[in-house]
Amino acid sequence: MMKNVQGSSAGAGSGEFHVYKASRRREYERLKLMDEKAQKEAETQAFESKKQEWELQAEAKTAKNRAKRQKKKERAKVKGPEKESAAGSETNAGQVDAPLKKRRLVSGKELIFKRPGADSDEDDDDDIGPAPPEQSLEGVDTGTLRQRPVPIVDAPRIIIHEDE
């Protein structure tokens, strides 16, 4: 609300115009701040609504994937005991849980899975592989070193220790 609304018309002093001009500037500044505040609140509200929508979409996708994982886990749980009980009664009547799982690969290598803490029947822990051949240095007198290529040895098995 502006007070002393008088222009520079006759009858008013020059001081009155400056008072009016300062009052008008303060009013315009107040209106500008109100508009900026309203615009900032609208932008914030739009961002929050979009953020909430993104979070809901992400949660829905996560829930869907979680349900798939749980369903797969339940199917494995249902199938697992049936297979283990049938196979366990036929092959390993004395053992409760099988410490080793074996899978044959296409290349002929054997892939063995062991549970942590399970002892192996063989002493493969000490056999890391064949020792690499000693490399001879040829051409030492010329200052250049020539090394023979190291032959690559295929290991017959790969052992993976599973953590549960």
Q: How far apart are CA 98 and CA 123, in angstroms?
A: 18
| Separation of alpha carbons 41 and 39, rounded Å | 5
Helix (H) or strand (E) holding 88: helix 14-90
Burial class of 132 by CB neighbour count within 10 A (0 to 12, 13 to 18, 19+): exposed
pTM value is 0.35
Place of tokens 């929050």: 48
pLDDT digits (tens, 9 = 90+) for 37-94: 999 999 999 999 999 999 999 999 999 999 999 999 999 988 876 665 555 555 544 4
Domain residue spans of the chain: 13-97, 99-130+137-164
User: Residues 103-125: pLDDT tens digits?
Assistant: 555 566 666 666 666 665 555 55
